[in-house]
Amino acid sequence: MRFMADDQSGPEPFGLRASRAELDDLRARLRATRWPDAPEDAGWSLGTDLGYLRELVTYWAEEFDWPAQEAALARLPRFRVPLGGLGIHFVHARAVAPAGPVLPLVLSHGWPDSFWRYSKVVPLLTDPGAHGADPADAFDVVVPDMPGYGYSDRPAGPPLNSIAVAGLWAELMTVLGHDRFGAAGGDIGSHVSRYLGLDNPGRVVGVHRTDGGIPVFAGDPAELTPAETAWFEQAAAWGAAEGAYGAMHRTKPQTAAFGLNDSPAGLAAWIVEKLRAWSDCGGDIERSFTKDEILTNVTLYWLTGTIGSSMRMYRANSEIAPEQLARRVDVPSGFSLFPADIVRPPRAWLERTANTVRVTEPARGGHFAAFEEPELYAQELRDFFRPYRAAAVA
């Protein structure tokens, strides 16, 4: 599947379906996988477990029903619109039976996913009354695919960084008629949400994030608290043990793209290992994601051919100027630090880098909290943004 920027000036409904030829080709490639060897009892210690991936690939080839998953995703109201010379795919779900001011909310995903990350949480946010919550907490929800991810176009030239994507999202919200709005996200989406608040303080009423971003500090290390110093050390240790994927994405993403874009088994290995390592699954990935859920995410990458373009965004973000990274977010900021997420920042760092008004530590969930624990994540957003609803319509 390849897309080009649409010719029309406004959003158009999106309803693309995979062809039979594309699915037949995928199954043929899966059945012809040339498997590597692995040391006996290596498990997940060296990367993706061979036995698990064989099982997953067999299910993908013989039982996985992509048309059914595609139809489920199609129940979300999805559109495409040209922005900055690119066709941007997004979900735009309006509040159902709101009982007060409706707050528009733009949700930004990260890697390795797409709008898929928020597919479970959208109905909880638009229709809280139907899910045991207060109808007054309803949102108008916008979930775009970043350029080079999912069904959004891939930049033909240099990849866009988080600052540029935040600019596109501000334009998207204008096109959709949302003058003031909230921003939320995790992973790269946390970075994008941060810049939305930094560059649009008159429009963004609040920023909610599930992480504190990459720890970068250009000041005197003596100014850091002991908790911040320990966090920097933990982050460095995590990078040495777990960060090889990020180094590849930042430096030589195109090299990896040749293999990952040609082999669906290789693509699954690259993504599945991160779903397991970064989720609150206790080592059993299927405690957090079913096979169908895993393969829906991976199949989106396969059919859109976006693994290379998604990785290239790491290169763009690595080149953001230090003075941009050092900016402090002045709009009200909230953080939900889920227990199994990647190296969690201390409150001192959050207060140093943002106007932090709320920090919570939910009982369950990891890096993909919106998908792993949608009810908890939805409640975190409801609670944080509740004081700022009136500001959105003032």
Question: What pLDDT sits at residue 7?
Answer: 45
Kindly list the catalytic residues. 187, 314, 367
Question: What pLDDT sits at residue 317?
Answer: 97
Classify residue 4: in a domain, yes or no: no
Classify residue 298: in a domain, yes or no: yes
Question: What pLDDT sits at residue 364?
Answer: 98
Q: In the sheet that 329-336 helps form, which strands lie side by side, from edge to edge?
A: 12-13, 78-83, 86-93, 139-144, 103-108, 181-185, 204-209, 329-336, 354-360
Classify residue 7: in a domain, yes or no: no
Structural domain of 188: 12-36+43-393
The span from the CA of 106 to the CA of 323, in Å, is 25
Question: What pLDDT sits at residue 394?
Answer: 62
Which H helix or E strand runs over 89?
strand 86-93
Question: What pLDDT sits at residue 215?
Answer: 86
Looking at the 3D structure of the chain, how many domains does it have? 1
Encode the chain (394 residues) as per-residue pLDDT tens digits: 444 444 446 899 999 999 999 999 999 999 999 999 999 999 999 999 999 999 999 999 999 999 999 999 999 999 999 999 999 999 999 999 888 899 999 999 999 999 999 999 999 999 999 999 999 999 999 999 999 999 999 999 999 999 999 999 999 999 999 999 999 999 999 999 999 999 999 999 999 999 998 888 888 889 999 999 999 999 999 999 999 999 999 999 999 999 999 999 999 999 999 999 999 999 999 999 999 999 999 999 999 999 999 999 999 999 999 999 999 999 999 999 999 999 899 999 999 999 999 999 999 999 999 999 999 999 999 999 999 998 777 6
Which H helix or E strand runs over 12?
strand 12-13
Classify residue 6: in a domain, yes or no: no
- Mapped onto helix, strand or coil, the DSSP state of residue 200 is coil
Whether the CB-CB separation of 122 and 96 falls below 8 Å is answered with no
Q: What is the CATH number of the domain that holds 312?
A: 3.40.50.1820
Classify residue 84: in a domain, yes or no: yes
Query: What amino acid occupies position 343?
Result: V
Classify residue 2: in a domain, yes or no: no
Supply φ then ψ for residue 331, to 5 degrees.
Answer: -70, 155
Question: What pLDDT sits at residue 237?
Answer: 95
Whether the CB-CB separation of 349 and 226 falls below 8 Å is answered with no
Classify residue 83: in a domain, yes or no: yes
Q: Which of 248, 108, 119, 123 is nearest to 169 (CA)?
A: 108
Classify residue 88: in a domain, yes or no: yes
